Chain A
């Protein structure tokens, strides 16, 4: 199995631009999670899906952030408009049946 796949691995954009991060979970996994990691705040859960349905988006910082999961093999996290304080590493993770979570390599986002 290829594991959780994220793209792009690095993204540099200017403030105000739209950013879209992509994730492909492990085949057969039914839950998908988006996390953000910064030095100041550590790892924070932004949103998670179960069977493609958003269950809890209470961690999404504000309305500029949105996430979708149109099917079992693909999810996006969109930031519009982006701001410098959104700079972080964004991780996607997946799991099956509430067991071990498997993380992708992350997307390092820099907003200038």
Chain B
């Protein structure tokens, strides 16, 4: 059974710091991994999708890496800003197709000025 764990559960940092959020999964037979952002009271916004054949994906100040063999992904946020404050979730699809996603519990990030 696929399980997704995110560490830390919460993080509070001053503006400007570089951050690493961690995601681990128990079944390495995944074909992609997706990182989302959720603002309070809002829906989920897709940040990055990494295919199983890729090692990393970058979008602006965000960089996500994937190590299938060890069942880990990291989301790196460079030069954090107060606007980055949100909950970040990672999700992997169950084997069998159709992109049925299993989510981690999320990391709640607060960036203070």
Contacts and interface: CB of A to CB of B under 8 A. Distances in A.
A82 interface: no
B49 A50 contact: no
B44 interface: yes
A42 B103 CA distance: 8
A18 interface: no
Contacts of B99: 31, 95, 98-99, 101
Main secondary structure of the interface of B (DSSP, over half): strand
Contact of B100 (A42, A43, A56, A104): A56
Contacts of B71: none
Nearest to A56: B100
Contacts of B60: none
Interface of B: 31-32, 34, 36, 41-46, 49, 89, 91, 93, 97-103, 105-106
Contact of A45 (B36, B44, B46, B100): B100
6 contacts: A42-B103, A98-B32, A99-B99, A100-B49, A101-B46, A105-B43
Contacts of B100: 33, 45, 48, 56
A80 to B, nearest CB: 25
Contact of B98 (A42, A48, A103): A48
Given A31-B99, A42-B106, A95-B99, A106 B43 contact: yes
B34 A100 contact: yes
